[in-house]
Structures are given as C-alpha cells and as structure tokens.
Amino acid sequence: MAERNLAQALTLALDHILASDPGVLLLGEDVGVTGGVFRITDGLQDKHGADRVIDTPVAESGIVGAAFGMAVAGLRPIAEIQFLGFAYPAYDQMVSHVSRIRNRSRHRFTAPLVIRIPYGAGIGAAEHHSESTEAIFAHTPGLKVVIPSTPADAAGLLLTAAADPDPVIFLEPIRSYRRMRGEVPDPPKPVPFGEAAVRRVGSDLTLIAYGAMVPDVLDAAEHLAGAGIEAEVLDLRTLVPLDIDAVIGSVARTGRAAIIQEGHRTCGFAAELAATIQEEALYSLEAPVARVTGWDTVVPLRRAEHHYVPGVERIVAAAESVMAGS
C-alpha cells in the first residue's frame, strides 16, 4: 500500500468517486484549471472533464446554492469552499435550505451533497484563513459534520460522505494536509460515520479530539506516558453523528477526561462533550472534565498564532491537572 499524505489521500478519493459515479460533480473557486489552492483537485479536471470539475465565479452562496439545486435534481455535487472563513456567506444556504429540504418535503426531495472546507490554524496564514467553527455546523440540524485526522480516514470518510443520502460538511485540517503520511488503500476503503477511533489505549484518563488536534494530542499522550500517565486517545472522526457510546464508555473506565478543541471555547464542541459526559457519566467522574480550547478571541495572525492553538504543553498541563483532580 502506498504512503500518502492527507492531501494526496483526498485527491485519490475524489478521483475514485468521480470515476465510479457519473453523477458526481466538483465545483468551487479555482478547483478546475489550477487544481484548488491546496491542489486537492489537481489533475481531476483534465481527467474527468471541465463539465464535471468546474471553476465557478467567486460567490460562496452561489456555489452552495447551485450545488443544492443539482443535488435536488439527482446529481451528487461536491462543492469546495476555499477556507472555512469564506463559508459564512454560504451559511444561509446551508442552514435554511441544504439542511432542511428533506424535512421540509418529508423526504420527497433530498440534498445529498458534500461541502469540503479546509479549516484550522497553524500555517501562519492571513486573517479568515484559520477558522475552526465546526460548532456552528454541529448546531445546525440536518447537517452531518465530518473531520478526518489521518490520510486513510480522510479518503475513507470522503467516500462515505459522497455516498451519504444527506448533506455532509467535510472539514479538512489544513495543517495536517502535509504533516504526516500514512497507508491509504487504493481504492480507499469507506470509513463509516459515527464510529470514533481509539488512537491510543490507556486507563488513566481519556483525551478526546478530532481533526487537526489529534496528532498534537497523541504527542501529548506520549509526553504523559513519560510521566507515568497512560492516556486513552479518542478521535471522534464525525461530530454528527457522534459516537456517544465510545466517549461515555471510555470515560466510565478512566474516570477522567479532557477534550481538546481548536475552536473558540464558548459553545464549542468541547462544551457539548463535557455536558454530555457529566449527564451520562457523572458518578464515574473523579475530576471535572477539562476543556482545552482556542480562546474567545479572533484567531491571531502569524506572529501570535501560537498563543491561540492548544499545543502539547497546554494539553499536558490540562491532563495533569485532571489527574490531580483539581
């Protein structure tokens, strides 16, 4: 099996998806001729045609709205938004139409589309290029929310997303695009939604994360192991649907948990997880569930970005304080 980075895994998956289903179309800004700003769609227009890999005008609401119409009429569009910070102009289309047509029409019309969006900080980019606002999608009924952390998962979850009968927000961790390589089967193997992955087994506490934070959490876990603390690391992979059983099961065993999330703290997905854990496993908890999160600040620009993104140090410190039970 070939080793690929996460970006290459996505390209591979898209190539397979396009080849196996003639109803799939890719559309977005610069996805065609130039292969996307992260080159995820590189070569796909040449291979599958300009009527299937489509450069659009600069108009995010138009991209999502057109993709919605295509999906309603029987195609399976995969739209790309260039960065999560540029998805907000399309938020109305997502909330008001994409997520709702099935319910509005009691299953008569559906919108099986995927919206791929690079997200997250850590590459010192300009403002709006570093957002982690997955929570606003998780809060929107009718959207599935997927965030892979490894190359194989990226490909496998994308395959599942493309075949899903409902709309999927597919968030791609920018700083993981080329951070590590991993084995990716060719063709990729679908990864089911709603199944968290145990990335590390441990009995002292549970560290819960997803997407771009997972590699850092694994580093932190190694660090903790050096200090005699064995952390279990859960990678959620999909926020909606959520593998609640895996979360509760692990915390019930370890009695302690920290959730690591890059997004802003207030009403982030970590809040949802902490609330759920105390609801379902309060009597197992030996210490408060800790949240290690980005702050309620704008993500800083390059020179101060490191103050925002939770790093290994903050994760380790939080884990230690959870172990101390304070």
Ligand X SMILES: Cc1ncc(C[n+]2csc(CCOP(=O)(O)OP(=O)(O)O)c2C)c(N)n1
With beta carbons less than 8 A apart as the criterion, state whether 20 and 49 touch: no
- Catalytic, out of 16, 48, 107, 129: 129
What residue 72 binds from ligand X, other proteins, a second copy, none (CB within 5 to 8 A, per partner kind)?
other proteins
Window 200-259: residues binding ligand X (CB under 6 A):
none
Residue 108 is encoded by which pair of tokens?
A: 């008569």
> What would the x/- binding string for other proteins be over residues 149 to 168, using CB under 8 A?
----------------xx--
The helix or strand, by DSSP H or E, that contains position 119, with its residue range, turns out to be strand 114-119
> What would the x/- binding string for ligand X be over residues 34 to 73, using CB under 6 A?
------------------------x-x-------------
Residue 240 as a binder of a second copy (CB under 8 A): the answer is yes
Q: Which of 3, 21, 46, 92 binds a second copy (CB under 8 A)?
A: 92
Residue (228 or 303) nearer to other proteins, CB = 303
Catalytic annotation present for 129: yes
β-partners of residue 144 are: 168
Residue 305 as a binder of a second copy (CB under 8 A): the answer is no
324 CB contacts (<8 Å, ≥6 apart)? 287
Residue (134 or 243) nearer to other proteins, CB = 243
Smallest separation, CB 236 to other proteins (Å): 11
Q: How far apart are CA 294 and CA 298, in angstroms?
A: 9
Residue 296 as a binder of a second copy (CB under 8 A): the answer is yes
Residue (101 or 224) nearer to a second copy, CB = 101
Residue (59 or 201) nearer to ligand X, CB = 59
Environment class of residue 312 by beta-carbon count within 10 Å: exposed (0-12), middle (13-18) or buried (19+)?
middle
- 90-128 per-residue burial string, b: 16 or more CB within 10 A, e: under 16: bbebbbebbbbbbeeeeeeeebbbbbbbbbbbbeebeee
Nearest Cα residue to 48 out of 92, 78, 82, 93: 78
Report helix, strand or coil for 256.
coil
What residue 267 binds from ligand X, a second copy, other proteins, none (CB within 5 to 8 A, per partner kind)?
a second copy
Residue 237 as a binder of other proteins (CB under 8 A): the answer is no
Nearest Cα residue to 17 out of 59, 56, 48: 48
Q: How many residues are listed for the chain in this entry?
A: 326
Q: Which of 39, 86, 249, 312 binds ligand X (CB under 6 A)?
A: 86
Q: Which of 103, 178, 222, 286 binds other proteins (CB under 8 A)?
A: 103
**Residues noted as catalytic:** 129
